[in-house]
Amino acid sequence: MTNIYLRMLLFIIVLVCVIILPWWLSTLILVGLTVYFSFYLEVVFFGFLFDVLYEGNFVFPYKGLILSLIFLLVVMTVRKRIRI
């Protein structure tokens, strides 16, 4: 299976996970995938999805979106420093 198909399949699986699993389990899965893949941009979308589905009021800063972006940036920076 090529990388793009794997990512698409994972996207659908994680989408279902975010919708039905407890938030802490979905978060663990997202953390794992962000660390595993070199540039897991989808995590930003799933942070956005947490906000859209479950946040009471859309007021900036959007917590899920911002936190996922910060986490992705941190993981990318660390990966760069340790040259994985």
Partner 1 sequence: MAVLFCILSFLLFAFPKGTRSFFYYVSKPIWTGRDSFINSIQNVGNYFVSKNSLAKENMSLQDEVASLRLKELDYDILQRENAELKNMAGMTTNQNRILSRVLSKPPTSPYDTLVINSGSAEGLVKGNKVYLSGNIIIGVVTDITPHTSLVTLFSSGEETQSSVLERTGTSYDLSGRGGANFSLEAPKDADILWGDVFVYPGSTSSVIGSVYYIDSNSQSSFKTVYIRTPGNVFSTKWVYVEKTI
Residues that bind partner 1 (CB under 8 A): 16, 19-24, 27, 41, 44-45, 48-58, 60, 62, 64-65, 69, 72
Query: What would you report as the CA-atom Rg of the chain, rounded to the nearest whole angstrom?
Result: 13
Inter-CA distances, 70 with 4, 8, 44, 76, Å: 24, 23, 9, 10
| Nearest approach, Cβ of residue 19 and partner 1 (Å) | 5
| Nearest approach, Cβ of residue 3 and partner 1 (Å) | 18
Euclidean distance between CA atoms 14 and 30, whole angstroms: 8
Nearer to partner 1, 1 or 71 (CB): 71
